[in-house]
Amino acid sequence: MYTEKYFEERLTADGRRDIVWEELNRFFSAYYPKQLDKVVELGAGYCCWINNVKANKKVAIDISPIVRDYAKNGTEALVQDATELSSFEDNSVDMFLASNFFEHFIIEDVEKIILQINRVLKKGGRLCILQPNFRYCWREYFDDYTHRTIFTHEGLSTLLKENNFDLIKVLPKITPYSFKSSSIPTPRLVIRAYLNSPIRPGAKQMALIVEKK
pLDDT at position 5 is: 57
Q: Could you report the per-residue pLDDT of 45-57, keeping only the tens digit for each? A: 999 999 999 999 9
In angstroms, the CA 101 to CA 90 distance is: 22
pLDDT at position 13 is: 60
Domain total in the chain: 1
pLDDT at position 7 is: 53
- C-beta of residue 100 within 8 angstroms of C-beta of residue 180: no
Q: What is the mean pLDDT of the chain?
A: 92
CATH no. for residue 208? 3.40.50.150
184 contact partners, CB below 8 Å, separation of at least 6: 16, 17, 20, 176, 178, 191
Residue 8 reports pLDDT greater than 80: no
> What is the model's pTM?
0.92
pLDDT at position 70 is: 94
* Range(s) of the domain holding residue 100: 4-212
